[in-house]
């Protein structure tokens, strides 16, 4: 399990944590909805919200547990089996859950729109919204940033959906970074989920990640989102987001091999 050093006490979730978790599930439902033509689907079952992207990869098919005592794991398994995908569940961090294998703990951070802090400009950096024609470039930058290729079937809908904005950043004319925001308006209200923030190794430690993130957040808040949320991969990423004004809240425990 990946622990959150110095993180809040999972036994006493704050309203901000509950809101962030709810918005996280809202955003993943939105990911399913933009993929309806390819098998994306959502449902609210007793004690759990489920979604599938339609892609057979457990990273992109989830159940978000809201009340462990109400969840019928057999029914949840049948829902995913009928769609032919692997899946996992997210449970509020520290909540007892006896099904499957604990894979990791996902940290969460959140930011109210008025609390976004300005970032220093990066000389030579230009950030713009990517479109369908930018798919090869976005895939290339993403692979270089994260050390492995991601399925273009996952990225492509981000470039055409009206509810997702993908940023592409160029440094002195060379593509060096990408990220995206999913805008949702579900149970948590209008929210922005910042994800996929990746910078090529040669362009790091220059403020690029913060600049791209701030660009996307300003756009999302300008479109009516009231707060943002994200999950930092590590302490270094958390420090970048803290400088933008994000604060850490209780996270989520991710389980796989549930049934």
- Residue 12 has what pLDDT? 52
- Residue 149 has what pLDDT? 79
pLDDT band at 258 (very low <50, low <70, confident <90, very high): very high
pLDDT at 188 over 80: yes
pLDDT, average across residues 140-158: 93
pLDDT at 139 over 50: yes
pLDDT, average across residues 170-191: 98
Q: Helices 235-244 & 208-222, crossing angle to 10 degrees?
A: 50
* Rounded distance between C-alpha atoms, residue 229 and residue 44, angstroms: 22
- The helix/strand count (H/E) of the chain reads as 6, 11
* Rounded distance between C-alpha atoms, residue 257 and residue 7, angstroms: 27
Average pLDDT score, the chain: 94
Pairing of β 88-92 and β 61-65: parallel
pLDDT, average across residues 141-161: 93
- In tens, the pLDDT along 125-138 reads 999 999 999 999 99
**The whole model's pTM is what?**
0.93
- In tens, the pLDDT along 224-238 reads 999 999 999 999 999
pLDDT at 13 over 50: yes
pLDDT, average across residues 194-216: 97
The domains of the chain, with CATH numbers, are 15-107 (no CATH), 112-250 (3.40.630.30)
- Residue 35 has what pLDDT? 97
pLDDT, average across residues 156-160: 97
pLDDT, average across residues 16-43: 97
The answer for residues whose C-beta is within 8 angstroms of residue 148's C-beta and 6 or more apart is none
- In tens, the pLDDT along 76-127 reads 999 999 999 999 999 999 999 999 999 999 999 999 999 999 999 999 999 9
For the chain, give the percent of residues with pLDDT over 90: 93
pLDDT, average across residues 16-39: 97
* Rounded distance between C-alpha atoms, residue 252 and residue 259, angstroms: 19
- Residue 26 has what pLDDT? 98
- Residue 8 has what pLDDT? 36
Q: Which phi and psi angles does 113 have, rounded to 5°?
A: -50, -45
């Amino acid at each position: 399990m990946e622990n959150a050093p110095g993180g809040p006490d999972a036994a006493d979730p704050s309203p901000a944590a509950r809101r962030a978790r709810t918005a996280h599930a809202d955003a993943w439902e939105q990911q399913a909805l933009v993929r309806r033509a390819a098998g994306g689907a959502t449902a609210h079952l007793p004690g759990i919200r489920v979604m599938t992207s339609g892609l057979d990869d457990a990273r992109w098919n989830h159940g978000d547990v809201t009340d462990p005592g109400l969840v019928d794991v057999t029914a949840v398994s049948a829902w995913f089996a009928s769609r032919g995908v692997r899946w996992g569940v997210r449970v509020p961090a520290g909540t007892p859950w006896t099904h499957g294998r604990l894979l990791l703990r996902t940290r969460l951070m959140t930011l109210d729109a008025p609390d976004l802090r300005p970032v220093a400009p990066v000389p030579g950096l230009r950030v713009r919204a990517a479109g369908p024609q930018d798919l090869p470039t976005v895939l290339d930058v993403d692979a270089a940033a994260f050390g492995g290729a991601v399925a273009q079937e996952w990225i492509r809908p981000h470039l055409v959906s009206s509810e997702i904005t993908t940023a592409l950043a160029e440094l002195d004319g060379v593509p060096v970074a990408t990220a995206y925001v999913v805008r949702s308006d579900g149970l948590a209200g209008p929210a922005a989920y910042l994800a996929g923030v990746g910078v090529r190794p040669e362009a790091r430690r220059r403020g690029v990640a913060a600049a791209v993130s701030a660009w996307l957040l300003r756009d999302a808040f300008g479109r009516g989102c009231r707060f943002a949320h994200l999950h930092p991969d590590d302490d270094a990423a958390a420090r970048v987001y803290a400088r933008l004004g994000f604060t850490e809240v209780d996270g989520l425990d991710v389980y796989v091999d549930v049934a």
